[in-house]
Chain A
Amino acid sequence: MGVEPGRLSFSWISSAESTKFVEVVKDVTATVKALGPNNNFKKAAKVA
């Protein structure tokens, strides 16, 4: 619908998998950073 697929991600992480958590955070951040700022669906500027 016009939002790049990389902006939404899913994962399964168990409570004990903190190292995996760190990995996924780094991965997701890198993916979204590569896509640039989101200008679609943005309304924050209008909220008072």
Chain B
Amino acid sequence: MLGYIDKIREISKRLLDEGRVDMIIGFRKGTIPMMNEPCFVKNSGELSTLVWDSNCGINLANYLTDRKEKIGIVAKGCDSRNIVTHIIENKIKREKLVIIGIPCKGMIDKRKVAGMFENGIDDITEEDNILRVKSRGVETSLKKSDLLQENCELCIHRNPVIYDELAGPLVEEQKDVDRYADVRRIEAMTAPEKWEYFKDLISPCIRCYACRNACPLCYCPTCFVDESRPQWCGKGQDEIDTRTFHFLRAYHCAGRCTDCGACERACPVGIKVRQFTSKLNKDCLDMFGWEAGLSPDQRPPLDTYKPADPGDFIK
């Protein structure tokens, strides 16, 4: 997977030089280990800053909404589905995009890795499936596939669903993955147990909105938490307000979330934000047979009425 970077730079150079795009959105190395930043390259001389490795977890589709330029964007499987969702929701035109598709084998969970080295990490390098972590001068080799982000372990859409160029050969999709084991465990609890479970889950939340800001679907000019007349939800760290924020945000992403994990990755206190959206994704799959962003030609189920829609909860 690491060899992709040369192909990405080559494709980007070609696109910029030929004038097919005004800018390339990709990743560059961040200032600390395991953190890559998004980068916007307008000049083909600066392409050497682009990188690709297993820390490219943020969802670049976040930067696409309402842009007017021609953009070349680096997109892994989940990102490409978010791009399809944006096209369906009219936030970007397909003609404006050149999508550089990346078949992805998963991103590493930086918290899992950091948790293994209590003396801090000086540097990390990668080679195929091996991570070499240097901590206080001692180097340890770890298997990347043991340290993947949770959503990457469960991913069944590793290949981009839409692309103009491919940076590498398509990878085999994972089969026989139980994507909703977590959800079923929560569904089996009684109502008071669920209340307590979510209370513990949300208790560290400081309402920084990093999850909302990292999410490509959260593009509302005025988010519901910013509204004051009427005020749906207070802005402080009151337990009820925080709960309302997370549940409502999950509902606003229902049927649109591609489980990219950007929210969980962004959270500064390590909350498993995906637990809110995965239940809704499972419900969409069960009730409508729908998964977000697979094809730009299909309208989402919450957009359309079909006589077969479930309706037996209505008296």
Contacts and interface: CB of A to CB of B under 8 A. Distances in A.
Contact of B240 (A5, A10, A11, A41): A41
B313 A10 contact: yes
B198 A10 contact: no
Contacts of B313: 10
A12 B192 contact: no
B207 interface: no
B315 A3 contact: no
B192 A2 contact: yes
Contacts of A3: 191, 195
Contacts of A27: 315
Interface residues of A, number: 16
A10 B315 contact: yes
Contact of A1 (B234, B238, B247, B315): B247
Contact of A2 (B191, B238, B241, B244): B191
Interface in A2-46: 2-5, 9-12, 24, 27, 40-43, 46
A3 to B, nearest CB: 7
**Size bracket of the B interface:** 10 to 19
A28 B195 CA distance: 23
Contacts of A11: 314-315
Contacts of A9: 315
B243 interface: yes
Contacts of B198: 1-2
Interface string B193-217: 0111111000000000000000000
Nearest to A8: B313
12 contacts: A1-B195, A2-B194, A2-B195, A2-B199, A5-B191, A10-B315, A11-B314, A12-B314, A12-B315, A24-B315, A27-B315, A43-B234
Given A2-B194, A2-B198, A40-B195, 20 more contacts: A1-B194, A1-B195, A1-B198, A2-B192, A2-B195, A2-B196, A2-B197, A2-B199, A5-B191, A9-B315, A10-B314, A10-B315, A11-B315, A24-B315, A27-B315, A41-B243, A42-B240, A43-B234, A43-B238, A46-B238
